[in-house]
């Protein structure tokens, strides 16, 4: 049988989905197919029709804020009194350094104060005043661990479940598993930072070996926002309109000389659909109609928080319109504070804190939080010892993949919980450890899937996000 | 044996048509049942009784035999392979599956009707159940007495009667009144059928349409102005034939038809299978071999022989090879095309990975040459075609010595160096020179480590300095626990090494990294002087396999971990009458077991019932938009029946008689009135033959991805006609789109901003674009570029919005439109009218009507005004990281008139008149 389906009906359907270099919406051929269908992962038929998972799902969409570089858990999410006490003393345990030339064994207490917040009383650093206001809505995971080596591997582990390149990202899995609920927008959107791409670039939204229609679509915060979606600047508006009218005339005449050729009619219709998609994307990405109160909530009135806040608001608008998975990135390695953490960390926090917290509040007030998973976190944390031991202006912290924090909210996660902890120095996770595999298994569970059964046949082998490498559904953090 | 030909009566034709139409509309499973019942009615006029062999066995084979007959154990002690077993008591309760004449009491019927059987998988269709019921009701008869035992390879008369297994006949060319005008035999066969239905050929298409069709079919490009003018000026009666000859002689002919062959061969420039999708830098030798062979009109029998066994034609050692031998070896790339992940697969998964390579190769061989889905018999007897599982392994045995799973060779061990001995000596001398520099670098590195160590120690308290130095200098295994502890407390000393030296540059403001790199660069510079070693991927047999050919075993349920009885080389059992007695050659060959040589000779003997039919059908498929068999890679029961079986046979025999020449076949087919018809539909024909099964008109086809891209390049004047060699590289741009370019991302995967100029390579034909399985060029993928997993049997042509968006907004579409506008303004002068007329001729290959010219002139006027205003507005420049890679290249300011003309050109490029070929 023809597995690549280059001529079969199956291929025809696969092709009919919106898969232009990663745009993942639906085609006009599926307009009448918007009824959800049960999932059948044995079939080799790929489309973007919405699908019903086997087990009752809690979540139907997800927004992930990926904080590349490794936010310092010791300075943001997990107070360590013992570390405070031993500030300046030598650390005696084993440590894996990334940059040994500037390493030290001198312990450094967090320079920032922690305080209890909300009814749950979770302690949060003063660097995150907005996050402090939403602790009652989130599950803070303090015992995260990947145990892998560097940024690249850590990012792959968190995003794709494995440490090597080439695997599909979470967003691709969800698109594959659930399809799309909109036909005019991509199912999976990556909102990049105008200051630069994250490390690993486009691999952050790759579909790996899944069919290419499950690739994420990178949407820039400025025009042109999507590949091939926006006209060139000088053609925008009237010029493209006139071109399309002229083209319409050409095609109409051609069709009249080819009566009965339905394919020609379908192509004429496909230009109309393309036009609708341009409008839909433009509308979804345009926040001018949002109220002043909403913009203020996201910090769009403040130059420091405006950019990230805008993208958070766009993420909400996309999810409202049926987009399955949205991921926001920060530029390069914003959180990679090897050096100068005392100046750098507060700046990184101010950039994202308000927008991230506003997203949770806004989703809640619109009744979307219950069905939308929100995630905030990076691929690692930081060490309790000083790197660049040369005074207040230069001190930093090196990588730590054995213990870090991140938070999740909505979509069936418990509200107002802090789960897991690292050792007394904030070095290695020791209690209620959640690995990237546990996290993925739990996520898929909330979307109604058994992570061992949501598979894709590759070379005759069923491949999964967690790849039979374990992966525990962390029941304790489920609402 | 005689071909079963439909009698020339309207009734038979109508029913044949009905089958054909149903076959298209229904799923494959339905077809077998439906066709069986319908045929049953058709042949005798009245319904003939259903028989087990013809009507029932196909259903049971499909749904039941896997558990009830095929395996080691019989589920419920029921065997359905013979009718006899069905009416015998079986199982503990001694029940009978079928009680002849009593369908309502037959267990078989109630179980399938209730949906209890089959327990898993697809249920029987209503039609299949009805067929079972009727058969039992009629007495559950067989066509003839059944064998006493079920033979290992059980093929019935009905199996043998299947059309595709009959010897190729040379039918008499139909001769009817009025046919004397139809000189081309193709037209006689097509015309005879048309006459039966009462339909005429469409009139001949216009000259403009014809040259466009021929150019597209033979070169995959739109015709140039010069070609069109030459044809238009030729008033000789054979102007058309001479035009066809010119395209046949074009070097682009070989490129176009190579693309077709490379599809079915599954050509790719990467390994696939694993995530790494490692690049195959030398795969292009095979691509170039195919182009050269087709341009030279190498007879197809020779072409096939070389691809299957070219290595066995080379007798000497694989050194200082002649060009002829290089060609023969390059040809075997055919057997090296499929995904191969064995180089990057752990030992525990090697068996699976190696087996996949062999299975995929067999799939390519069988779909391309046999037109049979032999791969379906890998795990069990083929459910629809008479291909026992054993056959699959017989064919595998032909290739087994070349693969040899016991002594597996990775890609690197399967290539031959084209370097001469003299070049090798020269290379070795240069390597010696470079090694001296390597040693110098190493020495300097040691000195620098020593230096940095000294500085690091100086910063330590005096009392630990010497202890630390001693600990550092003590080899790891000999260190005392105290020494290890001390080092751990001082990580900056502990971790100092050649690989971390660069990190200390920042501490001491030194440039050690740069200094060492300079020496390393020197060595690299020296090594660059080496003669470039070119490798040729080859499929051949290693001496160990030639001496003791590895055995082939039938894998139980296809599982390579579960081998059963051994099998000998052979082809399909159903073709036993055509096969050589043995697949071992009479004379031993120095370079192989000769199994593939015998196989290739047998396939190309001209007597093989499938090979030449499959080849001519494939050519027909490409020229007429649909094959005589509409499923060009499946001539089996799951495929379509031939619409014109006599024509297919006549062409197949003619092809062999004319020396297996592809170009001759083109002349024959393209010289026919059938080919030259217009594509115009009529209500009358659509009523009688909506899907044009009778070829009573030409089919309107969308240009495939490559033809579209290449034609745009040609029209814009940018096409780089360079042939052969290493492919044009692809890379990911900042959006994750696959574009042409050299990947310059840094080790962290971020774009470095560096742009390596492609120097015109970016304008080469799409055939030369790197076909990396995981990175199909975005523009081509949007227009249905197939995935090579492992090959593509026939292209599809979808119509989706992303294609429209690509034509509307993509960088490629915009830049080609602008280039065309610049060309037109350069060549047609300043007058709008002249520009419009020229654009029309270049893109649509016809003259614009007066109305079109006037509308275009009005369009240009208002568009120029709009764009003048738009281009004066300053455009916000986005940050560099956000800029699309292609746009990063500085573009010259755009003149409003050119910009307006570019949108007109873009409209022509986006129009159906360009995208479709009549």
Q: Between A and B, how many residue pairs show a Cβ–Cβ distance under 8 A? A: 295
Q: Which one is predicted more confidently, B678 or A261?
A: B678
Tokens found for residue B227: 């070609």
pLDDT at B17 exceeding the cut of 50 = no
pLDDT at B393 exceeding the cut of 90 = yes
Q: pLDDT-derived band of residue B537, with 50, 70 and 90 as boundaries?
A: very high
Chain B residues touching residue A253 (CB < 8 angstroms)? 852
**For testing the chain A interface, which of B451, B494, B804 should be mutated: the one with the most A CBs within 10 Å?**
B804
The shortest CB-CB distance from B810 to any of A18, A228, A264 is to A228
CB atoms B735 and A21 under 8 Å: yes
Query: In whole angstroms, what is the distance from residue B278 CA to residue B660 CA?
Result: 37
The shortest CB-CB distance from A101 to any of B500, B683, B792 is to B500
CB atoms B795 and A6 under 8 Å: yes
**For testing the chain B interface, which of A2, A149, A275 should be mutated: the one with the most B CBs within 10 Å?**
A2
Q: Is the dihedral of CA B271, B272, B278, B282 positive or negative?
A: positive
CB atoms B732 and A201 under 8 Å: yes
pLDDT (0 to 100) of residue B874: 59
Nearest CA in chain B to A14: B798
Distance from the Cα of A114 to chain B's closest Cα (Å) equals 30
pLDDT at A217 exceeding the cut of 90 = no
Considering chain A, what percentage of its residues have pLDDT values greater than 90?
A: 56
CB atoms A232 and B809 under 8 Å: yes
Across chain A, what does the average pLDDT equal?
85
- Rg, C-alpha atoms of chain A: 24
Distance from the Cα of B582 to chain A's closest Cα (Å) equals 29
Q: pLDDT-derived band of residue B882, with 50, 70 and 90 as boundaries?
A: very low
Distance from the Cα of B433 to chain A's closest Cα (Å) equals 34
The shortest CB-CB distance from A11 to any of B339, B504, B796 is to B796
pLDDT at A226 exceeding the cut of 80 = no
pLDDT at B39 exceeding the cut of 60 = no
Chain A residues touching residue B912 (CB < 8 angstroms)? 250-251, 254-255, 258, 264, 267-268
What would the mean pLDDT of B266-278 be, rounded to a whole number? 88
Which residues lie below 8 Å from residue A382, measured CB to CB, with a gap of 6+?
A70, A71, A72, A73, A74, A75, A337, A341, A397, A398, A399, A400, A404
Chain B residues touching residue A244 (CB < 8 angstroms)? 808
Considering chain B, what percentage of its residues have pLDDT values greater than 70?
A: 92
Chain B residues touching residue A167 (CB < 8 angstroms)? 275
pLDDT (0 to 100) of residue A224: 65
Task: Return the bridge partners of B204, or none.
Answer: B677
pLDDT at B883 exceeding the cut of 70 = no
The shortest CB-CB distance from B492 to any of A103, A235, A246 is to A103
**For testing the chain A interface, which of B341, B801, B895, B899 should be mutated: the one with the most A CBs within 10 Å?**
B801
pLDDT (0 to 100) of residue B911: 94
pLDDT (0 to 100) of residue B748: 66
| The most confident of A316-320, B339-343, B750-754, by mean pLDDT | A316-320
What would the mean pLDDT of B612-636 be, rounded to a whole number? 93
* Range B41-59 burial, b when 16+ CB lie within 10 A, else e: ebeeeeeeebbbbbbbbbb
Which residues lie below 8 Å from residue B184, measured CB to CB, with a gap of 6+?
B668, B671, B672, B673, B674
Q: Which one is predicted more confidently, A316 or B156?
A: A316
Chain B residues touching residue A156 (CB < 8 angstroms)? none
pLDDT (0 to 100) of residue A236: 85
Tokens found for residue A185: 């927008």
Under 8 Å between Cβ of A186 and A246:
no
Chain A residues touching residue B748 (CB < 8 angstroms)? 151-152, 199-200
Nearest CA in chain A to B878: A222
Tell me phi and psi for residue A38, to 5 degrees.
Answer: -65, 150
Kind and range of the H or E run holding B446: helix B421-458
Tokens found for residue B181: 């005008």
Nearest CA in chain B to A106: B489
Chain A residues touching residue B915 (CB < 8 angstroms)? 267
Indicate the number of domains in chain A: 1
| Own/partner pairs, B416-425, CB within 8 angstroms, 24+ separation | B416/B318, B416/B321, B416/B329, B416/B535, B416/B536, B416/B538, B417/B533, B417/B534, B417/B535, B417/B536, B418/B321, B418/B326, B418/B533, B418/B534, B418/B535, B418/B536, B419/B531, B419/B533, B419/B534, B420/B320, B421/B319, B421/B320, B423/B531, B423/B533
Which residues lie below 8 Å from residue A398, measured CB to CB, with a gap of 6+?
A97, A98, A99, A103, A338, A382, A383, A385, A387
Nearest CA in chain A to B680: A258
pLDDT digits (tens, 9 = 90+) for B751-771: 677 788 888 899 999 999 999
pLDDT digits (tens, 9 = 90+) for B119-133: 877 788 888 888 888
What would the mean pLDDT of A345-374 be, rounded to a whole number? 97
CB atoms A97 and B814 under 8 Å: no
CB atoms B802 and A19 under 8 Å: yes
pLDDT at B541 exceeding the cut of 90 = yes
Distance from the Cα of B774 to chain A's closest Cα (Å) equals 8
CB atoms A263 and B700 under 8 Å: yes
The shortest CB-CB distance from A196 to any of B810, B863, B881 is to B881
CATH label of the domain that carries residue A168: 3.40.720
Chain A residues touching residue B867 (CB < 8 angstroms)? 234-235, 239
Backbone angle region of B244, left / alpha / beta, with phi > 0 → left and psi within -120 to 50 → alpha = alpha
CB atoms A151 and B748 under 8 Å: yes
pLDDT at B327 exceeding the cut of 80 = yes
pLDDT digits (tens, 9 = 90+) for B606-615: 999 999 999 9
pLDDT (0 to 100) of residue A316: 97
pLDDT digits (tens, 9 = 90+) for A12-32: 223 323 333 323 333 333 333
Chain A residues touching residue B700 (CB < 8 angstroms)? 258, 261, 263-264
Tokens found for residue A257: 């000389």
CB atoms B878 and A2 under 8 Å: no
pLDDT (0 to 100) of residue B720: 95
pLDDT at A256 exceeding the cut of 50 = yes
pLDDT digits (tens, 9 = 90+) for A87-117: 989 888 888 888 877 888 899 999 999 999 9
Distance from the Cα of A71 to chain B's closest Cα (Å) equals 19
Its ipTM equals 0.77
What would the mean pLDDT of B767-794 be, rounded to a whole number? 87
Among candidate residues B457, B455, B278, B274, the one with its CA nearest the CA of residue B356: B274
Chain A residues touching residue B376 (CB < 8 angstroms)? 1
* Range B728-755 burial, b when 16+ CB lie within 10 A, else e: bbbbbbbbbbbbbbeeebeebbbbeeee
Tokens found for residue A449: 């899937």
What would the mean pLDDT of B408-433 be, rounded to a whole number? 91
What would the mean pLDDT of B480-503 be, rounded to a whole number? 88
Nearest CA in chain A to B750: A201
Tell me phi and psi for residue A452, to 5 degrees.
Answer: -85, -15
Across chain B, what does the average pLDDT equal?
86
Q: Of the ranges B192-206, B221-235, B241-255, B723-737, which one carries the lowest mean pLDDT score?
A: B723-737
Distance from the Cα of A170 to chain B's closest Cα (Å) equals 17
pLDDT at B243 exceeding the cut of 60 = yes
What would the mean pLDDT of A362-375 be, rounded to a whole number? 97
A261: in domain: no
CB atoms A102 and B878 under 8 Å: no
CB atoms B808 and A240 under 8 Å: yes
pLDDT digits (tens, 9 = 90+) for A52-92: 777 789 999 999 999 999 999 999 999 999 999 999 898 88
Domain range enclosing A291: 17-28+45-230+278-477
A 10 A CB-CB count for B111 gives 17
What would the mean pLDDT of B59-72 be, rounded to a whole number? 79
pLDDT digits (tens, 9 = 90+) for A197-213: 788 877 898 888 887 67
Q: pLDDT-derived band of residue B28, with 50, 70 and 90 as boundaries?
A: very low
pLDDT at A272 exceeding the cut of 50 = yes
pLDDT digits (tens, 9 = 90+) for A422-444: 999 999 999 999 999 999 999 99
CB atoms B808 and A231 under 8 Å: yes
Chain B residues touching residue A165 (CB < 8 angstroms)? 275-276
CB atoms B376 and A1 under 8 Å: yes
pLDDT digits (tens, 9 = 90+) for B655-706: 999 999 999 999 999 999 999 999 998 888 888 887 888 999 999 999 999 9
State the DSSP string of B396-416: HHHHHHHH-GGG---GGGGEE
pLDDT digits (tens, 9 = 90+) for B796-835: 777 777 788 889 999 899 999 999 999 999 999 889 999 9
The shortest CB-CB distance from A4 to any of B750, B786, B911 is to B786
pLDDT (0 to 100) of residue B126: 84
Considering chain B, what percentage of its residues have pLDDT values greater than 90?
A: 49
Chain B residues touching residue A2 (CB < 8 angstroms)? 367, 633, 793
Under 8 Å between Cβ of B414 and B332:
no
Distance from the Cα of B795 to chain A's closest Cα (Å) equals 6
The shortest CB-CB distance from A90 to any of B373, B489, B906 is to B489
The shortest CB-CB distance from B907 to any of A103, A243, A460 is to A243
What would the mean pLDDT of A383-400 be, rounded to a whole number? 90
pLDDT (0 to 100) of residue A396: 93
The shortest CB-CB distance from B352 to any of A192, A232, A460 is to A460
């Amino acid at each position: 049988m023809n597995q690549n389906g280059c001529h079969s009906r199956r291929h025809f359907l696969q092709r009919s989905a919106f898969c232009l270099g990663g745009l993942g919406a639906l085609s006009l051929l599926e307009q009448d197919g918007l009824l959800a269908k049960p999932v059948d992962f044995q079939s080799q038929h790929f489309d973007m029709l919405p699908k019903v998972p086997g087990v009752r799902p809690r979540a139907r969409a997800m927004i992930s804020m990926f904080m590349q570089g490794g936010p310092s858990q010791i300075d943001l999410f997990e107070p360590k009194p013992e570390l405070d006490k031993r500030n300046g003393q030598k650390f005696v345990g084993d440590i894996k350094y990334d940059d040994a030339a500037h390493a030290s064994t001198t312990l450094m207490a967090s320079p920032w104060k922690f305080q209890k917040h909300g009814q749950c009383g979770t302690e949060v650093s003063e660097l995150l005043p907005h996050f402090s206001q939403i602790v009652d809505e989130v599950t803070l995971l303090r015992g995260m661990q990947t145990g892998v080596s560097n940024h690249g591997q850590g990012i792959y582990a968190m995003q794709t479940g494995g440490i090597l390149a080439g695997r599909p990202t979470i967003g691709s899995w969800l698109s594959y598993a659930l399809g799309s609920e909109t036909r005019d927008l991509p199912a999976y959107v990556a909102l990049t930072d105008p200051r630069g791409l994250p490390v690993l670039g486009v691999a952050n939204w790759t579909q790996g070996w899944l069919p290419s229609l499950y690739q994420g679509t990178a949407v820039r915060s400025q025009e042109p926002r999507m590949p091939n979606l926006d006209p060139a600047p000088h053609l925008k508006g009237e010029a493209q309109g006139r071109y399309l009218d002229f083209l319409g005339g050409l095609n109409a005449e051609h069709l009249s000389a080819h009566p009965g050729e339905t394919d020609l009619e379908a192509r004429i219709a496909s230009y109309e659909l393309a036009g609708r998609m341009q409008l839909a994307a433009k509308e979804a990405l345009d926040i001018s109609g949002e109220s002043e109160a909403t913009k203020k909530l996201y910090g769009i009135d403040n130059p420091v928080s405006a950019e990230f806040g805008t993208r958070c608001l766009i993420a909400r608008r996309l999810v409202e319109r049926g987009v399955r998975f949205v991921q926001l990135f920060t530029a390069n390695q914003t959180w990679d504070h090897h050096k100068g953490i005392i100046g750098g960390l507060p700046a990184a926090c101010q950039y994202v804190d308000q927008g991230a917290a506003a997203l949770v509040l806004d989703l809640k007030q619109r009744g979307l939080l219950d069905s939308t998973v929100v995630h905030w976190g990076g691929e690692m944390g930081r060490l309790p010892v000083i790197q660049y031991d040369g005074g207040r202006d230069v001190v930093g912290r090196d990588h730590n993949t054995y213990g870090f924090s991140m938070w999740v909210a909505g979509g069936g996660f418990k509200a107002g919980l802090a789960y897991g902890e690292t050792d007394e120095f904030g070095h290695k996770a020791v209690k209620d450890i959640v690995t990237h595999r546990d996290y993925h298994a739990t996520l898929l569970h909330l979307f109604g899937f058994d992570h061992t059964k949501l598979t894709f046949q590759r070379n005759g082998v069923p491949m999964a996000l967690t790849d039979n490498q374990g992966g525990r559904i962390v029941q304790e953090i489920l609402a | 044996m005689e071909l079963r030909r439909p009698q020339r009566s309207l009734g038979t034709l109508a029913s044949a048509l009905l089958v054909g139409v149903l076959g298209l509309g229904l799923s494959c499973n339905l077809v077998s049942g439906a066709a069986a019942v319908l045929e049953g009615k058709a042949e005798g006029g009245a319904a003939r009784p259903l028989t087990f062999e013809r009507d029932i066995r196909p259903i049971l084979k499909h749904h039941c035999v896997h558990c009830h007959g095929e395996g080691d154990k019989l589920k419920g002690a029921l065997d359905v392979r013979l009718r006899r077993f069905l009416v015998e008591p079986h199982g503990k309760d001694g029940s009978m599956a079928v009680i002849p004449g009593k369908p309502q009491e037959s267990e078989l019927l109630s179980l399938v009707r209730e949906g209890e059987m089959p327990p898993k998988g697809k249920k029987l269709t209503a039609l299949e159940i009805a067929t079972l019921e009727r058969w039992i009701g009629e007495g559950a008869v067989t066509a003839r007495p059944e064998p006493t035992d079920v033979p290992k390879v059980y093929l019935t008369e009905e199996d043998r009667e299947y059309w595709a297994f009959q010897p190729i006949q040379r039918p008499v060319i139909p001769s009817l009144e009025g046919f004397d005008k139809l000189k081309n035999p193709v037209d006689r066969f097509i015309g005879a059928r048309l006459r039966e239905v009462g339909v005429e050929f469409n009139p001949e298409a216009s000259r403009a349409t014809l040259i466009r069709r021929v150019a597209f079919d033979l070169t995959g490009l739109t015709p140039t102005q010069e070609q069109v003018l030459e044809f238009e000026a030729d008033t000789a009666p054979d102007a058309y034939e001479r035009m066809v000859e010119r395209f046949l002689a074009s070097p682009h002919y070989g490129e176009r038809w190579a693309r077709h062959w490379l599809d079915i061969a599954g050509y790719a420039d990467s390994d696939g299978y694993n995530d790494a999708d490692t690049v195959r830098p030398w795969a292009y030798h095979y691509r170039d071999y195919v182009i050269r062979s087709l341009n030279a009109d190498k007879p197809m029998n020779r072409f096939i022989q070389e691809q299957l066994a070219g290595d066995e034609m080379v007798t000497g050692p694989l050194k200082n090879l002649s060009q002829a031998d290089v060609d023969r070896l390059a040809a075997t790339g055919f057997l090296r095309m499929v995904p191969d992940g064995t180089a990057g697969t752990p030992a525990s998964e090697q068996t699976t990975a190696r087996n996949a390579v062999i299975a995929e190769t067999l799939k390519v061989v069988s779909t391309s040459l046999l037109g049979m889905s032999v791969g379906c018999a890998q795990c069990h007897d083929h459910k629809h075609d008479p291909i026992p599982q054993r056959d699959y392994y017989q064919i595998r045995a032909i290739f087994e010595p070349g693969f040899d799973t016991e002594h597996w060779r990775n890609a690197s061990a399967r290539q031959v160096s084209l370097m001469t001995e003299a070049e090798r000596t020269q290379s070795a001398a240069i390597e010696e020179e470079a090694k001296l520099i390597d040693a110098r670098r190493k020495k300097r590195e040691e000195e620098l480590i020593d230096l940095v160590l000294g500085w690091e120690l100086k910063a330590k308290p005096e009392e630990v300095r010497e202890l630390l130095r001693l600990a550092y200098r003590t080899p790891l295994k000999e260190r005392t626990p105290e020494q290890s502890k001390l080092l751990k407390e001082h990580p900056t000393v502990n971790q100092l090494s050649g690989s971390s030296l660069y990190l200390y540059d920042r501490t001491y403001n030194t440039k050690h990294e740069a200094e060492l790199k300079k020496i390393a660069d020197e060595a690299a510079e020296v090594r660059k002087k080496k003669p470039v070693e070119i490798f040729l991927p080859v499929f051949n047999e290693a001496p160990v396999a030639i001496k003791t050919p590895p055995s082939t075993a039938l894998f139980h349920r296809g599982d390579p971990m579960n081998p059963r009885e051994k099998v000998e080389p052979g082809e399909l059992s159903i073709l036993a009458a055509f096969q050589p007695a043995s697949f071992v050659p009479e004379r031993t060959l120095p370079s192989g077991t000769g199994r593939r040589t015998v196989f290739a000779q047998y396939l190309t003997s001209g007597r093989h019932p499938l090979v030449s039919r499959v080849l001519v059908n494939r050519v027909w498929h490409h020229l007429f938009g649909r094959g005589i068999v509409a499923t060009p890679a499946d001539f089996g029961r799951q495929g379509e029946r031939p619409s014109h079986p006599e024509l297919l046979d006549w062409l197949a025999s003619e092809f062999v008689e004319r020396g297996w020449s592809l170009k001759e076949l083109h002349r024959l087919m393209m010289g026919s009135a059938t080919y030259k018809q217009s594509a115009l539909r009529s209500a009358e024909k659509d009523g009688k033959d909506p899907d044009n099964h009778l070829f009573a008109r030409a089919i309107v086809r969308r240009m495939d991805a490559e033809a579209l891209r290449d034609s745009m390049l040609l029209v814009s004047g940018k096409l780089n006609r360079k042939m052969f060699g290493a492919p044009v590289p692809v890379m990911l741009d900042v959006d994750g789109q696959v574009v042409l370019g050299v990947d310059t991302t840094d080790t962290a995967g971020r774009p470095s901003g560096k742009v390596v100029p492609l120097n015109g390579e970016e304008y080469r034909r799409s055939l030369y674009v790197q076909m990396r399985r995981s990175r199909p060029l975005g523009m081509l993928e949007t227009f249905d570029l197939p995935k090579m997993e492992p090959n593509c049997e026939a292209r599809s042509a979808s119509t989706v919005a992303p294609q429209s968006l690509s034509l509307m907004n993509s960088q490629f579409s915009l830049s080609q439109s602008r280039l065309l506008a610049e060309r037109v303004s350069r060549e047609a002068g300043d007058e709008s009218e002249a520009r419009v007329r020229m654009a029309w001729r270049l893109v649509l290959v016809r003259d614009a009507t007066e109305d079109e010219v006037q509308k275009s002139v009005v369009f240009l006027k208002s568009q120029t005004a709009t764009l003048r205003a738009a281009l004066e507005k300053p455009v916000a420049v986005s940050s560099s990281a956000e800029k699309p890679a292609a746009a990063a290249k500085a573009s010259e300011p755009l003149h409003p008139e050119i910009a307006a003309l570019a949108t007109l050109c873009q409209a022509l490029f986006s129009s159906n008149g360009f995208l479709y070929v009549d």
